[in-house]
Structure 1
Amino acid sequence: MTRLYNDPAAFADEALEGFAAAHRRWVRPVPGGVVRATAKTPGQVAVVVGGGSGHYPAFSGLVGQGLAHGAAVGNVFASPSAQQIRTVARAAESGGGVLLL
């Protein structure tokens, strides 16, 4: 069987790191997830999505212009921790508050 990971314990972090590197034009990594790489609009409500990584950190793909402002990414089949959500929310916030989904 072909495996697409190195260490199973590091799978989610490595997948997120690779996603951010491949799409650095749209997202930038922060501890616990990713946020938009574009400039923030002052006073805008930030939308942060999130969930477990499952087979890959899919929630990261929902971040970008016209989409979410950030994504908190948990481990494989596990929700992100409160600390991960807080870190991503603080990085995405621009003065209008944060809506967590």
Structure 2
Amino acid sequence: MKLPLLTTVTTLLLVLILTVTCQEQLIVCPPDYCLTVKCVSDESCPKNETLVPTFCGCCRRCVPIIGEGGRCIIFNGVPPTSACDRNLTCCNGTCEKTCGE
């Protein structure tokens, strides 16, 4: 029996969502983890970059700054690869001054 294409796509999307959700819950920092991590010194970031925490918050690294209207991505528990500029917040994938207004 062949499944209709819509049912197959829906099933695959559901499996993908569940996989991502479960993996996010597996990111755990063990006790005293930061004692074993060797961080590089906090250097001044190049222009248009800022410092953000790395995994478990042990160290910091430079990432690009995104201006108003720029695309941003936030995954809970995952270190950011960019940051919205001052006075901006990542709202629904876009750096904005206010969310939902």
Give the TM-score taking structure 1 as reference length: 0.25
Higher relative contact order (CA 8 A, sep 6+): 1
Give the TM-score taking structure 2 as reference length: 0.25
Looking at CA atoms only, which structure, 1 or 2, has the larger radius of gyration? 2
